[in-house]
Every structure is written in C-alpha cells, then in structure tokens.
Structure 1
Amino acid sequence: MRNSNYSDKSSAPVSGLLITTQWLEVLFLAFLVVLISGIVGSNGGVIAFGVMGITAGILSYLFSRVALNQVFYQKKFSGNRFFVDEIVAMEVMISNKKPIPVPWIRIQDELPEIFEVENTDITNFIYNSYTKTQVLRHFTSMRWYERIKWDYKLKCTRRGVFKIGPSKIESTEPFGMFGSVINYDTFDEIIVYPKIFSLDELELPPLKPFGESSGGMELIQDFSGPRGLREYIPGDKLSTINWKASAKLQKLHVNLYDPSSAHTIVVAVAVDSLENYWAPGDVDIVENIMSMAASISYHALSNNYTVGLLSNDMQTQESKAFIVSPGRGEYQLTKVLESLANINTLAYAPMSEHLIEISRSFPMGSTITICISYVNDNLLNSIQYLMDRGHLVVVLYLGKGDMPDIGSDVKIYDFREKMNNNEFAIKP
C-alpha cells in the first residue's frame, strides 16, 4: 500500500539576482566617477582603482549571471505515504553540471515541525517559531561537475497531510559583490496515516462489535431478504415483525435473517470532544479517535466486511454525507486511511445532529460504530433513533473520566488504556 520507491520531484526554478538593478547602476556610476576624477586629475592610482573597480564589477556581474546555471537541486523520499512513528528517508542532492566552480552556495528548505530528525547531526535544522516549520540549511562550495548529497531520517510524529518546501538556493561570485538566487516554488507532499492497533491484542470481549460471520449468536444479519418466520418473543425489534404474516396467522411473527458476510460497518469519527462542539478539543484524544477508526476499518476490511467512513469535521460541512462511500478491498482501506489523514479537528456540527442528517444514506441493517470522546443526551437520542431504524450501534469511548452510561441496549467499549501501549500497533 505504501510506495517504497524513491520519489524524485523538482520544480522549474525561478532565478534572479540578490542585488537590484538600481544598485548595479549606482555602483557602476560610482566607479565611473572615480575613473573620470583620476583622468581629470591625472592621478594614476585613482585611474587604476576606477578601472579595477569597473572591471571587477563587470566580471562579478557576469559570473553571478552564470553561477547557478546548470546547478540542479533534488529531494528524494523513500515514499509519500507513511504511518505515525515510521521513518522517512530523505536524500538532498545538488549537482553542478558546468565547467565553472561555485565558490559559495546556500540551500534552504522548509519542513513541517511534525518531522523529527533522527540523525545525530541536526545542526543544519533551525526551528522557525513564527511559521512553526523547520528550516534545513546547507552551506557549501562546489567544484566543476561535482555532486553533493546529504541523507536524513525523519520520524513522522503526527497524522496529517504535510508539504515539504519551498526551496531556495543562493550563491555569490568570488568577490562577494553580487549574488543570484533560484526559488523552487513547488512542494513535496507526505501523507501520514494514523496508527493501527490489533483489535485481538486489545482483548475485545467475546461479543464483538462486528458480530459473527458464522456460528454463534447472529449479531449481524442480512436484511436484504428473510429466511423464514418465528413467533414473536418479548424483546424482539418491532422492525422485524412481519405484519402481513402475523395477521394471517393471528399471532405476532418476526422475520428471520441469515448472518451476512458482506455486512456494512459505518465508522463514525466524532471530532467534537467538548460540550461546545465548535471549540477545539484535546489533540491527543482526537488522534486516538483517528487511530481507533483506522483500526476498526482495517479489522473489518480484513474480514471481508463492507466499510464506510463519515465524520463531522469542517471539511464535510458541504457534502454532509460519507467521506468514503461503503466498499471493500485493499483500495478501500487506502481511501479510508487517506481520508482519516485529512480530517481536521474542528467540528461543523455535533455528531448527534450529523448522524440524523445522513442516516438515510446508511445501508439497511448496517452497524454504526461511533468513535467518540463526549457523550450527552442528544447523542443518546440519536443512537436510539438509529436503533429504531434497524441499525446496530456500537460506541467506542476514548474521552476522559468515567465511562458514560448509555443503557444496556448499546455496546460500549473502553480502549483508552490499551491504546497508550504502542506495542499493539500494527501495519497493513
């Protein structure tokens, strides 16, 4: 799923001089005045100084114009998709492909702060507190036809989609009078997926939230067609009553359904973690929610379930539907993980409202798995609404404090302590 080949991405450079045209004119006129003064005063020393100044200026200007010609800068990465705590191998390379040396050159590259430098020598990295980025700097000189390479190992410390760049190369000629610059204005994109945990190692209770695909209690059933009838037993859902057969037999009967191997799991990611849904919540809690959503999706897809993903973050405000439509297969997992990487931490509405808004798009009889850190009465009402429509609802609580009381009809699980132990993390 992750591309292990090196990606090579460079941009068309935008070049220019470090000194403005106006300053060039001022310097030229200054030395010209010195030369004329020497000629008028018949002063050989002044004349020589003026000639040397003009000559040095012309040579320096011409050198600065070609200093970065045929100089190529590249960054290579060991892929563009990683999981949290994985290592990105980054190779920085600059080549001088002309028969003229470059006496001084400086390279600058911006990296997001989430990348932790693993190399022992990190003196090339300077943190910019204003932009919250790391500036990677190299100072060197280059002989003709020389190539210089630096290797770095960067640890991904947080989920998200991150851009590396822009890049800038600066150089001066031997006299240090003029300089030139090349700007690379494109970016390299790195996608960092949330951690995935093994649900078996997290000791799920025997009553699994996904039900049983064969044998045992039929927690998940295929509602596309009944397999038969049986008499009504107190506690059966009203939605399973076959009213036509009950009227004919003069006794309440309910439909029987087969367990489904292609049951739909709807993973609901709730980013609202406070009573005021619009307020930013605890970042660590939100990241745990993302990891749990990724773990559930991986587990379900590995067992051939159909999985869909939804969230109440700001990016879903317009569509108000699935972020990832229900589907199966390895490509579905990639879509789910990339969507989880893109989810932000600000909610456009409470999850309780969002579930009601899009409930009509849920496949019949699907299991709604809610990853959440805040439970209130409105959410409980929404859960009851979904259950009345024939859905099985499972709550995975990842908030602070004691477990909330949501009633005996809804399964609720606590993974907080287990998720803090990284030894349970796995990668597809």
Structure 2
Amino acid sequence: MNTKQTFHVIGFLLLLFALFSGSWFLWLFGGLFFFMPAAHSWWIANMSRWVKLEWIADQTRVMPGTPVQVTVRLHNRSWLPLPATWLRLTLPDHVTVEGADEVRVSNQRTVVRLRMDLPMRHSAKRILILTPHKRGVVWLTEVQSETLPLFADEMSAIPLRVSFTMLVYPLPLPLPSISIEDTEPDGSRLSRQRQQDDVTFQRGVRPYIPGDRFKHINWKATAKTGSLATRVFEHTARPDWRIVGHILPSYEPLQQRHNDTVNERTISCLAALSVFCRKRSLGYELYLSVKQRGCDHYHLPAGSGKSHHLHVMTQLAQMHHYVTTPLPPILRRLEENPSKETILLITPRLDEAMEQAIDRLLRRGHKVAVLDVSDDQAVLRRYESSRAPIGRLIAR
C-alpha cells in the first residue's frame, strides 16, 4: 500500500469516528487527508503550465568529436518553490556529457540527471558540454522532471517538452592523391555536356531571361538601358564526375557477416570526396545503391557549391536503416548515358559482376576509376581500357 492509499485509509477512519462522535475537528482533520492527495494530483497535472524548459545549443551541425555547449534554463512561473528538482534526459551512448550531476550508460543510452533548486518566480541555469563521436542525428523531444514530492517516498515525474536536433556529419576518410587532369575532356575540347560558364571572364551582356541568377544581373547596364540585363561569361571546360557509392546490406545471412563497419568506411569516403569537390569547385552527381522514396536507388542531380555539399553531407549523416539494392543495374543505366564523363566508383567489394559492368562502361567510352575501401586505407584504381580486366594501381 502506497502513501496515497495510506492517507485515504486514515482519512476514512477519521471521518468514520467523526460520524459517530459529531466532532467538527475530526471532520476537518479527516477531510484534510483526502484533500492533500487531490491537491497534489491537480498540481502535477497543471505543473507544465508554470514550469518551462529552455534548451539552447551553440551548434546544431558538427563533426564527430566536436564539443557542443548547451545552456539549460528552467523557469518557474508559479508562486510555489521547487527545491531539489531533477531533470532526467537520455542521449545515444556515443555522446559524452560533461557538467551533469549524474551520467551513466544503460541499454545503449546515456542517462543524464541535473539538479536545480527553483525559488518561486525565478529561473535556474545549467551548462552542459555534449560531444558526439559518431555520425547521425542526435535528437531530444522530452525531458523528465522529478520534483520534491508531497509524499516523501514517491517521486512525481513530469514530462517537459523540448525541441533539440544535432546533425553529426561523417568524418571524411583520408583519400589518395586524385589527379583532376585525368577527368578533363580529350584534347580539352568543349562539348555540350562539359560547357560551363566561367564567372572570372565576362564577354558581354544580354537581355534578362526569367530564371537567370540574381547575382549575375549587370546593374550598370540595367540603369543605362532601363531594362534588366544579365552578364554573359566565357565558356570553360571543367570535369563533371559521377560518383557511385556501393552500400552493402547491414547483414548478409548466407555469409553470416555484418557490414556496418565497411559501410561506415564507404560513407566516410563519400564525405571526403564531397569535401574534395567543394574545395576545387567541381561539379558531380551522386548515386547510392539504397532505396529512396520508392526509387530503386538514390540519385542526386549534378551540382556544385556550398548548398550541394551540405545536401550531400546531410544525406550521408541521416543514412540509417537503409534498404540496399544491387549495384550492377545502376552501372548498366549509366552505360546508356550519352555524356562521356568520368565515373568514380566507391566500393568495398570488387567481384566478377562488378568487373563485367566496368568493362561494359569502358566499351561505351566512359572513364572509370574505383576507390577500393575494403581496407582501412582507400586505394585508387583507374581502368584505362576494356582489355584490362584488373585495374592498374596508381595511388595508395
């Protein structure tokens, strides 16, 4: 029997004696034992109206191993003090926490407890340091608050809503030296597939066409002519890559093998290539052998720049519980593409079916380079012709 039931039993006995004795003191004293549990239940049910939790983080997109400072503020808008109030929250087990009163790991979760003493109409503040060590999304939607109970042996848990999401990007894998000249067009000749505008050299202006970029508008020419004019730039030949990532199933029952470690290495290599292309302003499109929104594989159209890089890194960070698809159908689709651009394949497994698919790509005139991530150190292999069944090692 808990304390609440004990209060009800005592109150019932006092009211029973008051009924036979007619004492008003026993009526009031017995009613008090029924009033206190009812008042406590009403306070717990309405406490979220006066107690608010504020969660402020200085960063929401970080790399693994980056400390994030979080400010936790608890506001008490009621006229009752809240001494010895505990906040309990859970985070993934790879997140280390500093500045908390209690930190323990249970069931692959990091359990954090904070103590705050809140006077009436005041607020309390605590600072935590969160350090994630794996890629993924760290999210928090609810914090359990345990206040000093009315009944000494029963803690009252109150959920407090909070919205916090931290995106942890994959750590880029060290890459071997990749020669950009290998991806240039033959003879450095321009083609429709490789023709791009070089904003360094301007060769004139033309009337504005809906869809032109706002930053390419020539305002001086617009002021002279009275109509919008857009800058026209010289053309240049830049390499466009097709990056294909081979993601293996998380578990292969026939081989009784887990591939989580290998897939993490593949994802880290894809992140490193995205950083490589971002630094050199290279355009590329991404293919992944995972299902995405009903499609047989994930495809990100060609692009370059900061927004394209952030989109790729966000997709790699959020890749969890994926359903993989075979890689040869993706390579077969690339065979029929008329543009002959360099295909960079990131795979941890080069089998016979992969070799045949690469040979067909070479026969169609594509250039193929393979980043083998089966070991801790990535190995770059370039396939020069369909007569070479095994790629020539050019960097390690």
TM-score range, shorter chain: 0.7 to 0.9
Residue identity opposite 2:352 in structure 1: D
Write the mapping of 1:126-141 to structure 2, written as runs, cut at 5 A: 126-129=104-107, 132-141=108-117
Match of 1:297 among 274, 281, 294: 274
Write the mapping of 1:26-65 to structure 2, written as runs, cut at 5 A: 28=8, 31-41=11-21, 50-54=30-34, 56-57=36-37, 60-61=40-41, 63-64=43-44
Structure 1 residues 298-326: Cα deviation after superposition (integer angstroms, max 9, x where no partner): 2223322211111112x337323553211
- Alignment partner, residue 109 of structure 1: 89
The answer to whether the aligner puts 1:285 opposite 2:256 as a matched pair is no
Counterpart Cα distance in 2 of 1:373 and 1:347: 17
Match of 2:349 among 374, 378, 391: 374
Ranges in structure 2 where 5+ consecutive residues have no aligned partner: 195-234, 386-390
Structure 1 residues 99-144: Cα deviation after superposition (integer angstroms, max 9, x where no partner): 3212343322221223223x2x555223231xx3222222333111
Match of 2:57 among 63, 77, 82: 77
Counterpart Cα distance in 1 of 2:277 and 2:113: 45
Residue identity opposite 1:143 in structure 2: P
Residue identity opposite 2:104 in structure 1: I
The CA deviation at 1:392 is 1.1
Percent of matched pairs sharing the same residue: 15
- Alignment partner, residue 71 of structure 2: 91
- Alignment partner, residue 192 of structure 2: 224
The CA deviation at 1:396 is 0.6
Is residue 76–residue 90 contact of structure 1 (8 Å, CA) maintained in 2? yes
Counterpart Cα distance in 1 of 2:23 and 2:142: 52
- Alignment partner, residue 144 of structure 2: 168
The CA deviation at 1:63 is 4.8
Match of 1:388 among 358, 363, 369: 363
Is residue 74–residue 125 contact of structure 2 (8 Å, CA) maintained in 1? yes
Deviates more, 1:327-336 or 1:392-401: 392-401
The CA deviation at 1:399 is 0.4
Structure 1 residues 19-76: Cα deviation after superposition (integer angstroms, max 9, x where no partner): 9xxx979955751442232441578996675254245445545554555542110211
The answer to whether the aligner puts 1:211 opposite 2:188 as a matched pair is no
Distance 1:353 1:274, change over 3 A: farther
Write the mapping of 1:345-384 to structure 2, written as runs, cut at 5 A: 348-357=324-333, 359-360=335-336, 364-384=339-359
Is residue 370–residue 382 contact of structure 2 (8 Å, CA) maintained in 1? no
Structure 1 residues 249-292: Cα deviation after superposition (integer angstroms, max 9, x where no partner): xxxxxxxxxx9633221111111289959976443332222122
Counterpart Cα distance in 2 of 1:197 and 1:290: 9
Counterpart Cα distance in 2 of 1:59 and 1:318: 53
Residue identity opposite 2:11 in structure 1: F
Write the mapping of 1:108-257 to structure 2, written as runs, cut at 5 A: 108-117=88-97, 119=98, 123-129=101-107, 132-176=108-152, 181-184=157-160, 187-196=163-172, 199=175, 202=176, 204=177, 208=179, 211=182, 218=186, 222-224=190-192
- Alignment partner, residue 261 of structure 1: 237
Residue identity opposite 2:137 in structure 1: V
TM norm structure 2? 0.72
Q: Secondary structure at the match of 2:80?
A: coil
The CA deviation at 1:220 is 7.7
Distance 1:404 1:394, change over 3 A: closer
Q: Secondary structure at the match of 2:344?
A: strand
Counterpart Cα distance in 1 of 2:156 and 2:308: 48
TM norm structure 1? 0.68
Counterpart Cα distance in 2 of 1:221 and 1:392: 16
Distance 1:37 1:324, change over 3 A: same
The CA deviation at 1:364 is 0.8
**Higher strand share goes to which structure?**
2
Distance 1:106 1:298, change over 3 A: same
Counterpart Cα distance in 1 of 2:148 and 2:168: 38
Deviates more, 1:73-82 or 1:318-327: 318-327
Counterpart Cα distance in 1 of 2:286 and 2:115: 47
The CA deviation at 1:386 is 1.8
Distance 1:175 1:345, change over 3 A: closer
Ranges in structure 1 where 5+ consecutive residues have no aligned partner: 1-18, 227-258, 416-428
Q: Secondary structure at the match of 2:182?
A: coil
Is residue 67–residue 173 contact of structure 1 (8 Å, CA) maintained in 2? no
Distance 1:191 1:219, change over 3 A: farther
- Alignment partner, residue 252 of structure 1: none
Distance 1:347 1:377, change over 3 A: farther
Deviates more, 1:95-104 or 1:48-57: 48-57
The CA deviation at 1:332 is 0.8
Residue identity opposite 1:261 in structure 2: A
Is residue 100–residue 112 contact of structure 2 (8 Å, CA) maintained in 1? no
The answer to whether the aligner puts 1:319 opposite 2:299 as a matched pair is no
Structure 1 residues 167-204: Cα deviation after superposition (integer angstroms, max 9, x where no partner): 222335544488765434665222111123575xx5x1
Is residue 162–residue 191 contact of structure 1 (8 Å, CA) maintained in 2? yes
- Superposed CA RMSD in Å reads 4.1
